[in-house]
Structure 1
Amino acid sequence: MASDTASLRPMPAPERALARKRRYRRRLRSRIILSFVIFGFVLTALIASTAVYLRNRVEDQVISAALTKNNNVFAEGFYRNPDAIGVPFEKIQGRQFSTSKLDRVPDAWRALANGVHELTEQDPVTGNERVYRLAVRKDPDYWFFLAYDIAEERESQERLNRALIGSVGIFTLLSALIGWWSAARVMSPVSELARRLQASGDSTQPEPLAPHFPEDEVGQLASALDDYAARLTEVVQRDREFNADVSHELRTPLAVVKGAVELLLSRPDLDEKTRARLLRIQRAEQQCTDLISALLLLSRNERGHGATDVQRVAEQLLDAHRTQLGGKPLALRLEGSRELVVDAPESAVNVALGNLIGNAVKYTTQGEVIVRLLDGAVEVIDSGPGLSAEDAARLFERGYRGTHAEHSLGGGIGLSIVRRLCALYGWRVRVVPGEERGVVATLTFSAGNGTL
C-alpha cells in the first residue's frame, strides 16, 4: 500500500505576507537595479574595449607606415650619399649592412622578411627589457634596418588600460546607484498602491484607490483594482446575506421539528419502533443544526468559542451510528479516557469529527471502527478497504468521491468542510493508510488555538 498522506497545515498570515513581500522585492525592485548594473557594465566595457582596440590598431598602422616610409628614406639617402650615417629622427636608429658582411647583422634581425616587426630583447648593459619595432628592407647589395623604441607607447598603453578598467568599475557602480534611485522612484507608486491595498483589506468597504494616483499605468491598475474590489465586495455581501438568510430560514423549521419530536417522545404510549424513528429524526435534526452553525462560521470566517468535551461528542456520534448499522457486522468502540476540551463550539467539533467517523462507518463493511483519544488529538481507525494513492492526493478536494464510494450517498464535500474548519481553527487533519488495511484519520487540535 502506498504511504501517501493527505494533511493540512495552513500557513499563518504573517508568513504569507512576508513571502509575498520577498517575491515582490526580488521580482521588481531588484530586477530594475540589476538591469541598470548590467547595462552600465556592458556599455562601459564595450566602449573601453572599442577604445583599446581602435587605439592599438591606429597606433600599429601609424607606426608601421612611419617606419616603412622612414626606412625607405634612410635607404634612398644612403644610396645618394653613402658617407652619411644615421637618420635625423628621435627614438629611431637606422643601420645598413652590406650583403658581403651579413655576419654583422644581429641574429634576431637576420631571418626577418621585408616589412615591420615587433621585437623584445634584453639590454646587455642595463638588463632591462627593450621593446621596439623594426622596419626591414633587404636590397640585393644592402640591407636596411630602422628600429623604433616603443617602450613609452607600451607604458602609456598599460596606463590607458588601467584607467579604462577603473572607469568600467566606476561607471558600473554609478549605474547601480542610478538603478537604485530609479527603482525607488519607479516603485514608489507601486509600493504606495500595495500599502493602500493592504490597508483597505481590513475594511468591509475598501477605500477607492484610483483618486490617489495620476492617470498613468499605476492609476489604471488602481482603477482596475477598484472595479474588482467593488464586484468582489458585492459578491461577498450577497454570499453573506444568502448564508444568513438560509441559516435563519432553516433554523425555524428545524426548531419546529425539534419541538414536535420532543413532544412526541414525551408520550408514554409510544411503541419501540416509533420511538426509534423519532430518535433518528431528532439526531438528524441535531446534525443539521450543527452543520448549519459550522457553515455559518465558515462563511463569516470567524472563530466561535466554547468548551467542548471531545470524549462526550465522540460517544454521542458512535451511539448515533450504532442505531443506523442495521445488520452490518461492524463494531464501534471508543478507546481512551483522556480529558480533551476544545476551545470551539460543539457544532464545529461535531461536524469535523462526525465526518471522519461517518466516512469510516460508511466504507467499512465489516470489522471495527475505533475512535481513540490522544493528547490533543483524536484518531479514527477503521478496517475498511484502505486508501489508494489517488484518494490520498485528492481526498480533501471539494466534490471528490473516493474510489470505494461506488453507489454510496454523498456529494464528496464532507472532508472539504473538515479542511475548511481546520484552516479556520488552526487544527490539522491527516488521513493515511493503516499498517495492514483500513485507514487512520487523525484530527489534531493545536495547543495554542484549539485545546484548553
Structure 2
Amino acid sequence: MQSRRKLRFRLVVSFTLFGFGLSALFAFAALNIRSRVEDQLVNASLLDDAKYANHYAQEHPEAPGPGSQLITGMTKSDRTLYKAPLAWQNLADTNGVHDIIEQSEDGDQRHYKLAVYRENHIISFVRYDVTREELGKQQLLISVIAAVFLFGLLSLVLGLWLSRKVLKPVSELANRLRDFRKAGKAEPLAPHFADDEVGELAHALDEYSARLTAMVERDREFNSDVSHELRTPLAVIASTTELLQGSPDLTEKLSERLKRIERASRQATELIEALLLLSRAERRGPTRGETTEVGKVAADVIESQRPQVRGKPLTVELRTEQQVSVNAPASVLSVALTNLIGNAIKYTLEGSVQVVVGNGSIEVIDTGPGIKPEDAERLFQRGVRGEGAGGSGAGLGLAIVRRLCELYGWDVSMRPRSDANGAIASIRFS
C-alpha cells in the first residue's frame, strides 16, 4: 500500500493551490478584460479623432493636421493621396482602425494603430503609437504575476494556520488515545471535546471501547473460570494415578500406562497454567521471578512425547551444547516446547528429530516433509495447520506459542532446512 501524506499536509497544499489558482484566474481575467476594454476605447477614440479631422479639413483646407509625440495625423484628398505612406494608401478605402507593425530606420519594430476615415473624397489618417502602451502592459503583467505569487504565499501561511487550528482537536484525540494505550485504562473521551464532528467521533469511540472492554472481560472471565474448573478433575486424575502406582501388585504394562496418564495429566495442567498466565499477563504483564532450565524442560517434554514415536523408524535426541536458563515459569516453556517438539515428531515419518540447546536458544530440527519459505510465518496464525503426516488439529498450537513468546520477549520462528528435507523450529531467548 502506498504511503499517504498527512491530512494537514494535504489541507495546506489544497488551500495553497486553491488560493494560487484563484488569484491567477482573477489576474488573467482582469488583464484580458482590461486589454479588450482599452483596445475598444482607443479604437473608438481614434476613429472619432479621424472623423473630426476629416470634417475640420473640409472646413479649413489650409489648416495643418493634428499631431503629438504619440498621435500624428494627416488629411489627404484623392488627388494628394499619393503623398501618404504606401501602407496607408492601401487602407484609404476602408473606414476603421487598423493595427500596423513597421520596421523603423534604426531596425526596431514600431507598433501603431491607424484610424482611417473617408468622406467627400477627403481621407483623414490618425496614427497612434502603442509601443509605450505595450511597455506599460508588460510592466503591469509583471506586477500582476508578483501579486499572484504574493497571494499564493499568503494562502500558504493562512493554510498552515487554519490546518493547525482545524486539526488541533483531531491531534488531541489521537494523543489521548495513545495515552490510554500506555496507561492500559480507557477513560471517556467525549467530555474533553466540543459538541462537533470531533466530539461525535469521540463519543462513537467511547461506545466502541465500552463494547470491546465488556467483550474482552467476558472472554477473560470465561477462560479463567474454565481453567479453574478443569484443575479439580486433573488433580483427581493425578492423585489417583499416584496412588495406583504405589500398589504392590501392579504389573509393568499397567505401570507404563499409568505413567502415560500421569504425563498427560501433567501436560494438561501445565497448559492450563500457561493459558491462565497468558490471560493474566495480557492485563498485568508477564509473571517473572522463576528461573527455569531449558534443557531439563526439553528432556521432560521429549519423554512425554515418546509414545508418538512408537511404530516409526524415528529417533529423538536431545543435545545440550550450553546450559540455558530463562526467567519464566516452567509451565510456559513446557507448553511452547511441547508444541514444537510434538509437531516435529508428528510430521516426521522416519529419520530423526534433534533438539539442540545452546547459545541462548533452542532448536528443533526434523527430517519431515519440510515447509515452504513463504508458509513459515503463516503457520503461526490461528487456524492454520501444517500439511503432511498426521496433519490434523485445530491449528492453535503454534499461535499459542507465538503469544507466549511475545509475552516474554522471545523470538520464535520456523524455516526449511537447507541441507536436507525437514524444518527447523527455534526459540531465541535473548
Please classify the TM superposition score into its range, dividing by the shorter chain length.
0.7 to 0.9
1:397 maps onto 2:381 in alignment: yes
Correspondence for 1:442 among 396, 411, 425: 425
Which residue of the partner structure matches residue 244 of structure 1? 224
Letter in 1 for 2:298: A
| Greater mean alpha carbon deviation, residues 143-152 or residues 285-294 | 143-152
Which residue of the partner structure matches residue 360 of structure 1? 344
Structure 1 distance, partners of 2:404, 2:276, is 11
1:424 maps onto 2:407 in alignment: yes
Correspondence for 1:298 among 269, 278, 282: 278
| Greater mean alpha carbon deviation, residues 205-214 or residues 55-64 | 205-214
Which residue of the partner structure matches residue 49 of structure 2? 70
1:278 maps onto 2:258 in alignment: yes
Structure 1: runs of 5 or more not aligned: 1-21
Letter in 2 for 1:248: H
Structure 1 distance, partners of 2:37, 2:244, is 113
The answer to whether the Cα contact below 8 Å between 1:356 and 1:441 also exists between their aligned partners in 2 is: no
Which residue of the partner structure matches residue 93 of structure 1? 72
Which residue of the partner structure matches residue 45 of structure 1? 24
Structure 2 distance, partners of 1:98, 1:322, is 129
| 1:200-232 CA-partner distances (Å, limit 9, x unpaired) | 345565322222223222222222222222222
Structure 1 distance, partners of 2:248, 2:100, is 127
Structure 2: runs of 5 or more not aligned: none
Give 1:436 shift. 5.8
Give 1:336 shift. 4.6
The answer to whether the Cα contact below 8 Å between 1:338 and 1:375 also exists between their aligned partners in 2 is: yes
| Greater mean alpha carbon deviation, residues 101-110 or residues 239-248 | 101-110
Structure 1 distance, partners of 2:87, 2:128, is 15
Which residue of the partner structure matches residue 288 of structure 1? 268
Give 1:48 shift. 0.9
Give 1:329 shift. 1.0
| Greater mean alpha carbon deviation, residues 230-239 or residues 372-381 | 372-381
Letter in 1 for 2:388: H
Structure 2 distance, partners of 1:144, 1:336, is 118
Which residue of the partner structure matches residue 34 of structure 1? 13
Q: 1:401 to 1:109 in 2, by over 3 A?
A: farther
The answer to whether the Cα contact below 8 Å between 2:54 and 2:118 also exists between their aligned partners in 1 is: no
Structure 2 distance, partners of 1:111, 1:354, is 109
Q: 1:111 to 1:274 in 2, by over 3 A?
A: farther
Give 1:60 shift. 1.7
Which residue of the partner structure matches residue 386 of structure 1? 370
The answer to whether the Cα contact below 8 Å between 1:379 and 1:443 also exists between their aligned partners in 2 is: yes
Q: Alignment partner of 2:380: what SS? A: coil
Q: TM-score, normalised by structure 1?
A: 0.81
Structure 1 distance, partners of 2:412, 2:73, is 97
Which residue of the partner structure matches residue 369 of structure 1? 353
| Greater mean alpha carbon deviation, residues 256-265 or residues 319-328 | 256-265
Structure 2 distance, partners of 1:122, 1:373, is 98
Correspondence for 1:147 among 98, 106, 127: 127
Correspondence for 1:83 among 40, 62, 69: 62
Whose relative contact order is higher, 1 or 2, with alpha carbons under 8 Å and at least 6 apart?
1
Q: Alignment partner of 2:150: what SS? A: helix
Letter in 2 for 1:256: V
Q: Alignment partner of 2:309: what SS? A: coil
Letter in 2 for 1:237: E
Structure 2 distance, partners of 1:216, 1:289, is 54
Give 1:372 shift. 2.7
Q: Alignment partner of 2:66: what SS? A: coil
